[in-house]
Amino acid sequence: MGRNIWQHEYPIDMIKSVKSIVHKKHTAKEAHDVFKKEKAKKKKKKPKKK
């Protein structure tokens, strides 16, 4: 799990989704929804590369 998180394009969002499973007892689908929601926030803020 470690390398898959740290080498991911959105490692913080991956950590948040795992955290939701461990601490909030979310299902895999709910954790994936957390990941998608967090990723969408980042995409809005992320500047376009030239």
pTM of the entire predicted model: 0.78
Residue 44: the pLDDT is: 76
Beta strands in the chain (DSSP E): none
Tokens 């799990």 -> residue: 1
Residue 42: the pLDDT is: 80
Q: Is 41 buried (19+), middle (13-18) or exposed (0-12) by CB count in 10 A?
A: exposed
Question: Which residues form the domain of 14?
Answer: 2-37
pLDDT digits (tens), the chain, 50 positions? 789 999 999 999 999 999 999 999 999 999 999 999 999 988 777 666 66
The answer to whether residue 32 is domain-embedded is yes
Length of the chain: 50
- Count how many domains the chain has: 1
The answer to whether residue 46 is domain-embedded is no
The C-alpha atoms of residue 7 and residue 4 are separated, in whole angstroms, by 6
The answer to whether residue 50 is domain-embedded is no
Residue 50: the pLDDT is: 63
The answer to whether residue 44 is domain-embedded is no
